[in-house]
Structure 1
Amino acid sequence: MLSPFDILLPRPVEAVATQGVFPLDRATALTGSLPAVEWLRTELRAATGLALTESGSAVITFSLDASIPAEGYRLEITPTAVRVGAGDEAGAFYAAQSLRQLLGPAAFRRSPIHSGQWTLPCGTVLDRPRFGWRGCLLDVARHFLPKSDVFRFLDLMAAHKLNVLHLHLTDDQGWRMEIERYPRLTSVGAWRERSTVGHGSVGALDDRPHGGYYTKDDLREIVAYAGARGITVVPEIDVPGHTQAAIAAYPELGNTDAELGVWTGWGINPNVINVSDETVKFFRAVFDEVVEVFPAEVICVGGDEVPLVQWRESPQAQARMAEQGLTTEAQLHGWFIRQMAVHLADRGRRIIGWDEIAEVGDLPPGAIVASWRGEQAGVDAARAGHQVVMCPEQHVYLDHRQADHPDEPIPVGYLRTLADVYAYEPVPAGLGAEAVTQVLGAQAQLWTEHLDTPRRLDYAAFPRLSAFAEVVWSPAERDPEAFLRRLTDHHLPRLDALGVEYRPLVGPHPWQTRPGVPGLPR
């Protein structure tokens, strides 16, 4: 027999139903001094039309409880009262999200459309996340996402109890963060003349300029908005590769005399920054402005896909190698990453980088490895005592195709269905008890070469991101049939109410296809 709590997604650790319901009406009060209380009041006031003030005959009460673990919560619902205990402010927010889910899809609307009584099922829910890092990367460098749409994406992350937004701010195709010391990074580097439509090797160039950037105040606003929803924003400034936008703005950062524009293609770019003292100082200054804006302990320095040809042919790079006693250009890559890591450590921060940083010399103290090319780099790093976030492209790259269906838009990468994402296990088999503790969690990726609008982001992300959310929040044991039932019967209607243009389980709507735009399946 199904429990009324079986509608929750992600699935809670424990839920026990009892008889009866708690009614929400004009006599219901919502109390507590936590930020989650005001958030819930605002959301439910819009959806229900109920005031939910601090006085009434039936009370929903939020409070902190030191016996509950961080990010965890407890719901006790009776016919006359709802008591919410939380381990911290984040846990209180997740409890509020669960209460909204229990009220039904109409509770996700911006105006009242529900007829009849609003009720919560009686019982007890005990819940806490399995992993502390439940992340999603959003690439705003390839295709810029306006600030209002970033807020919307944060709301969708919060609705799924995800807690890390990895914001990919710079790449060859665009620089998206205002840096006051270097204004050309945005005046030049934030836009490109055209873009490749479809996969780079077979796609066609359009002639539509694309660009945009966030001011520092925009980013402070994004950070505050995320923080109020339990989400940490981890910024990424990608070095020393994926830097053509920066070189276009400041040619002295490059290794050649070629005049470069912001790149209009996709893929791995041979242009990388040089390793002069001036370039090191330049990016130290950039990171100084990054840490002014982003309070996160962790800053991403990228470090992925760094072609070495230009350094091999550069007298300046070869002289730097000789000065540092380095024998390969790969070691020079590691040297540059360590310059940034030491600089950030002096400012109380530590780095996360893509798994190539584990192959180019000793990892800086406290560095986190984002294992993206597979799981082995994460396994090796964890066994060596380094913290790891699992994000293998074979499993959790949500820009990759969802089906072999001929109408699947711009089919790139691996075939990863909803069921595949739900089956992903972030802790690799045989890792060992000590190394397991180094796995902070996992992160899904939304790279946007082929996701050029919020509608395309919705299609790629959902409902697979809903499945991923359960993978990183809920206990390891999974029931795919039960998940699919909860998703279909209860969660997709919530996404409908939120206006999410997700991919239907049976395939794309006609307007979600991209006929004639080539992809590159793997």
Structure 2
Amino acid sequence: MRVPRTFAALLVLMAAVSCTAAHGDDGKPGATAPALPAFQRLLPAPAQARATAPGTGYVLGPGTVIRADPSSPDTRESADRLAEQLRATSGLSLMVVDGDQRDGILLRIDEQATALGAEGYELTSDANAVTLTAHTPAGLFYAVQTLRQLVPAAGGGLVQGGTITDRPRFAYRGAMLDVARHFFPVGQAKRYVDQLAQYKVNTLHVHLSDDQGWRLAIDSWPRLAEYGGGTEVGTGPGGSWSKEEYRSLVEFAKERHVEVVPEIDMPGHTNAALASYAELNCDGKAPARYRGIKVGFSSLCVRKEVTYTFIDEVLGELAELTPGRYLHIGGDEAHSTSAEDYAAFMDRAQEAVARHGKTAVAWHQLAGARPADGTVLQYWGTATTAPGEKGKVADAAAHGHPLILSPADRLYLDMKYDLTTKPGLTWAGFVPVKQAYDWDPGTYLSGSGVPESAVLGVEAPLWTETIATRADLEFMAFPRVLGLAELGWAPKTAHNWTAYAKRLAAQGPRLDEQGVTFYRAPDVPWS
């Protein structure tokens, strides 16, 4: 198998320890899992990792302290969070102290370490200390996530000796949660953020509106949440988030270096808004609220000026609530809007985003209209997407529009794993764990003329037409979302299904410990 040169020395350390075959949730047996050296269990794979001899490194024990370098105040927050997380599993006191001595666990931000970039870090472990160094607080946060994986499951013992120098392949590593088709409370979104951040995912895209429900309170248009939020797919009561709840999610995510990207889909997927306000309809009549799963039947009235007052005020309030760079304006499956009206509407929607100081993100259908300067396009096509549609995306990329790749037959987490999967859909086909991982974002659209330099990153959407519970959400997301994390962070040279499957298997006990309901894919050697 092909592996990066930096991992070659580690491969000779692999111990083929036979374990009992695991059984998936579908009753199928998994393969046998070998025990891997610590550095080879890391997910996502680091850019460079050099281990010292087996049995060497730092012993985490009763005397261990966590040191926050006083010359970099931002280290204290990371040190406190690391101590809290390790105390929970180890029972050790792990006092946090100021100081830059090389004993215990030292966290430091080095303004001179520009080579590590905005999110990179270096981790060294020897008999005296584990030292985490980064150029930024985000990089230090990711160093901490790596250390958490290196600490033995019991929370104490040997942290493998060696050096890891790491930085991501792509800047944008995202997951999308649809709270419009089925409503989920803010607490569930926070839980998902926590789960994602530990694997270096840095973006949560939240789909806040659709035909089935409107999920965020808007002061200037209060019936959107009060009335439009009162339905969801099926017979459930729906629900909505207050502005305070949304702010709490944004702050929670920020503490974990996750940027929230809110989406208000338009001009289609808007029945919840149309039902809430009659004036948004061309005939002035509000339709009934909707609980089904069909798409493409709704549209804001493109030729009424009140429509643009509506989107300007909604996007303005959303921009005020969202410190991040992006507002997502949808733009997909607008089948009830003519091409001319669609282009005119999206022109004004993009203008509204810019007026409120944000960058627009839209689904890739905007490439067939007039994407404004700087607008980011999110591609969700499949292997069967027409060449002409891909060509429009390539043309947009050639004109400087960054692309987020979310191919539905690879990264749509709502697609069934196989015939036995109870929740999920199949319109993009089955998406088993291997298929979700085994592709290269850098070359995915190269046949259409899109170079890797045009790819901002990757995102795994989780649509919720058939997903109404936390258990189903986690079952469909995990472990496929870990493949997303790997594709977004790990170097291209680390891409190898056989090696990845072993590292994925090594995450099983960790997911179990965290109470994550995940699918035990039969082709992964779970231990």
- Fold equivalence (TM over 0.5): yes
Cα deviation, residue 342, structure 1 = 1.2
Match of 1:31 in 2: 67
Question: 1:450 and 2:459 equivalent?
Answer: no
Q: Name which of 293, 296, 311 aligns with 2:324.
A: 296
Match of 1:281 in 2: 309
Helix, strand or coil at the partner of 1:191: coil
Match of 1:514 in 2: none
Q: Across the two proteins, how many residue pairs are aligned to each other?
A: 464
Helix, strand or coil at the partner of 1:136: strand
Cα deviation, residue 422, structure 1 = 1.2
Instruction: Give runs of aligned pairs for residues 104-503 of structure 1, distance below 5 A.
Output: 104-107=152-155, 117-192=156-231, 195-196=233-234, 208-275=235-302, 276-308=304-336, 329-360=338-369, 362-374=370-382, 376=390, 377-405=392-420, 408-413=422-427, 414-427=429-442, 428=444, 430=446, 435-477=451-493, 478-488=495-505, 490-503=506-519
Helix, strand or coil at the partner of 2:216: coil
Match of 2:120 in 1: 72
Q: Which runs of 4+ in 1 moved over 4 A?
A: 431-434
Cα deviation, residue 261, structure 1 = 2.5
Cα deviation, residue 237, structure 1 = 0.6
2:233 alignment partner AA: S
Gap runs ≥5 in structure 1: 108-116, 197-207, 312-328, 508-522
Deviations, residues 204-251 of structure 1 (Å, cap 9, x unaligned): xxxx33211111111111011111111100000111110000111111
Match of 1:513 in 2: none
Deviations, residues 320-368 of structure 1 (Å, cap 9, x unaligned): xxxxxxxxx31221211221211221222110000111112x2111101
1:10 alignment partner AA: P
Gap runs ≥5 in structure 2: 1-12, 15-36
Q: How has the CA–CA distance of structure 1 residues 409 and 303 changed in structure 2, closer, same or farther, with 3 Å as cutoff?
A: closer
Q: Aligned partners of 2:79, 2:65: CA distance in 1, in Å?
A: 11
Q: How has the CA–CA distance of structure 1 residues 74 and 433 changed in structure 2, closer, same or farther, with 3 Å as cutoff?
A: farther
Q: Give the conservation status (yes or no) of the 8 Å contact 2:182–2:233.
A: no
Helix, strand or coil at the partner of 1:395: helix
Match of 2:150 in 1: 102
Match of 2:136 in 1: 88
- Normalised TM-score (structure 1): 0.85
Q: Give the conservation status (yes or no) of the 8 Å contact 2:423–2:467.
A: no
Q: Aligned partners of 1:142, 1:430: CA distance in 2, in Å?
A: 34
Helix, strand or coil at the partner of 2:332: coil
Deviations, residues 171-193 of structure 1 (Å, cap 9, x unaligned): 0000001101111111100012x
Q: Aligned partners of 2:348, 2:208: CA distance in 1, in Å?
A: 20
Question: 1:60 and 2:105 equivalent?
Answer: yes
Match of 1:520 in 2: none
Match of 2:21 in 1: none
Helix, strand or coil at the partner of 2:58: strand
Cα deviation, residue 70, structure 1 = 1.3
Deviations, residues 470-502 of structure 1 (Å, cap 9, x unaligned): 1111011312111111222x2011110110101
Cα deviation, residue 411, structure 1 = 4.5
Q: Give the conservation status (yes or no) of the 8 Å contact 1:402–1:408.
A: no
2:178 alignment partner AA: D
Root-mean-square deviation (CA), in Å? Answer: 2.0
Q: Give the conservation status (yes or no) of the 8 Å contact 1:29–1:57.
A: no
Deviations, residues 120-179 of structure 1 (Å, cap 9, x unaligned): 111101111100010111101111111111111001111111011110000000000110
1:501 alignment partner AA: T
Helix, strand or coil at the partner of 2:261: strand
Q: Aligned partners of 2:354, 2:277: CA distance in 1, in Å?
A: 26
Deviations, residues 248-291 of structure 1 (Å, cap 9, x unaligned): 11111112355422211112141211121111101100111001
Q: Give the conservation status (yes or no) of the 8 Å contact 1:28–1:57.
A: no
Q: How has the CA–CA distance of structure 1 residues 29 and 252 changed in structure 2, closer, same or farther, with 3 Å as cutoff?
A: same
Q: How has the CA–CA distance of structure 1 residues 39 and 431 changed in structure 2, closer, same or farther, with 3 Å as cutoff?
A: farther
Q: Aligned partners of 1:446, 1:283: CA distance in 2, in Å?
A: 25
Q: How has the CA–CA distance of structure 1 residues 240 and 57 changed in structure 2, closer, same or farther, with 3 Å as cutoff?
A: closer
- Normalised TM-score (structure 2): 0.84
Cα deviation, residue 381, structure 1 = 2.3
